Structure 1
Amino acid sequence: MTTLEELREELAALEDPKILDVNRRHGDDHGVNLGALRAVAKRLKTQPDLARELWASGDSSARLLALLVCRPRQFAKDELDAMLREARTPKVQDWLVNYVVKKSPYAEELRLAWLSDPDPVVASAGWALTTERIAKKPEGLDLNGLLDVIETEMKAAPDRLQWAMNHALAQIGISHAGLRARAIAIGERLEVLKDYPTPPNCTSPYAPIWITEMVGRQQ
């Protein structure tokens, strides 16, 4: 059985200063190649107790590994809320929401609670869960109401919240033809991420371009 200390030593040995430098530019503080991290997780398989120990260490690489070897349903709603508020770096938050919260029976309760949270980082997780519902289970969502909020608040929102709201805007336009024109119009008016540097062969996060390109691929 691999111990927490042995794993932390293994993760430390995998640290790459160049990866750390790149990640720091995006607000992250881990320097382990994610492919190597996934290989460690594949070897360990599911280990809920070890996952809790890794998370409690506070180290971002250890927390990312914890999210790969945990059992999502092991966490109570209050635990997930506390974990999100502790997960201050983008990659840890992203994996927590996508790999754990989305598979939790408390996902919808947390979505509603986080969506209106005064902390913009927490609110961004609420919007990420909302985007998932927009795409996969829109029944019961007030999509026009969401567009109203986006239209009013996205332009001035802090970066991570703005990014999450913009993703929701694009997803509404992509998934819901009846609201596509309004979603594109909002994107054009607000111009959020219009000048975002986009590498060749990648889709721009600017909502009007994103919507148009993704819809075109579906046709």
Structure 2
Amino acid sequence: MKYALVTGGSRGIGKAIAQELASMGLPVVINYRRDDAAALQTAEEIGAAGGHAELLRFDVSDAAVTEQALADWEGRHPEDYVSVLVNNAGIRRDNLLIFMQNEEWEEVLRTPLNGFFLITRRLLKNMLTHRGGRIINIASLSGIKGLPGQTNYSAAKAALIGATKALAQEVAKRKVTVNAIAPGFIDTDMTADLDKAELNRLVPMGRFGTPGEVAALAGFLASERAGYITGQVIQINGGLYT
């Protein structure tokens, strides 16, 4: 059986993507780091809607923990493999660079970038063996445009975009596509501390996007209809930066 794995899938954009993929008939593995209640709620909502979800708690930035968690999952699913991987896990630790602490820099780079590397490398073999797969990396407007106070976050997401383009070329002949989605301002827990009224004035559409709008794009990229799309970075930002 083919599964989807969504990292950081318990809340926000990750949750919406997990729900979208489940609605397409894919059993979904929801990775999360610590919020058991939110992860369980997401799984229950998917189940109530007729889908199937499993929880897999581990820190994507920790090499040993990631390897063990994925090996354990494969041990429980000897006939299955992950055919759709959504690298969504990420954190913000905003600060001006002159005041930024080492841990603020390192933690923000580790989660999306090391997480992408560790999980994708581990799961890619089965995609190549089965001659098909979808890898979707959740980047950011910050990784394209750069945003003040987010030098760390911009660096991590820009690197993820570069990795997307390189890996797409490595695996295309095996019918594995690799794309990135770069959301602008999306209404989630991660943006709850931002001045929405002020930022809305910068967005041509005059509003933040919704997680569901990002998830719809992820669902399309995960589908067979997107089989000739690879190495792309698709922005979803209400016209803020094009």
TM-score, length of structure 1 as denominator length = 0.32
Higher strand share: 2
Return the structure number with greater helix share. 1
Higher relative contact order (CA 8 A, sep 6+): 2
Structure-2-length-normalised TM-score: 0.30
